Amino acid sequence: MSDYDSPLVEVTMLLADAAQVSDSKVFVLGGGLVQVGPNPQPMAVAVLIDVPWDRANLQHDWKLELLDEDGMPVLLSDRPVLVGGNFEAGRRAGWPPGAPLRVPLAINFSALPLQPGTSYQWRLAVNDTSEPGWHVSFRVRPRPAQQA
């Protein structure tokens, strides 16, 4: 495998109730969610991006998008549920040569009105590229049947 075939960065993602970044670490509350709802509730996506040593001090764009069961963007008020930004991994003094540079992200969402009984996935793209493992899937519980 050549460098051109290898992923741009390595990514670890986790769905949680809430997350925050402090001191270059991701703090996660209620991590490992696979089901939410059925009522709207806040959620967070915790992301660790490992940037190769030779890609330090370069600007990278990221985008996190919510997709439905068919891989289509989820729309709220006719707009896709999408957030993004950029990052640059710098080499800290004393960091071992060749060691990857970790960039932590915590993206929190307010209560999204999602369809009960449906599966979704948050997909990450870096520099308009997404790899198969750069997503976290979850399901919205169905509403309980009403008793007569």
Q: Residue 99 is which amino acid?
A: A
What is the residue whose two structure tokens read 């330090």?
56
Per-residue pLDDT of 28-82, as tens digits, reads 999 999 999 999 999 999 999 999 988 889 999 999 999 999 999 999 999 999 9
Rounded CA separation 125/30 (Å): 24
38's CB contacts (< 8 A; 6+ apart) are 116, 117, 140, 141, 142, 143
**pLDDT, average across residues 12-34:** 96
Largest separation between any pair of C-alpha atoms in the chain: 68
Residue 56: its pLDDT value, please? 87
Helix, strand, coil percentages in the chain from 3-state DSSP, rounded to 5: 0, 50, 50
Could you tell me if 15 and 32 are in contact, meaning their C-beta atoms sit under 8 angstroms apart?
A: yes
Q: Whole-structure pTM over 0.85, yes or no?
A: yes
Topology (CATH level 3) of domain 10-140: Immunoglobulin-like (2.60.40)
Residue 148: its pLDDT value, please? 60
Rounded CA separation 121/131 (Å): 14
Q: Residue 80 is which amino acid?
A: P
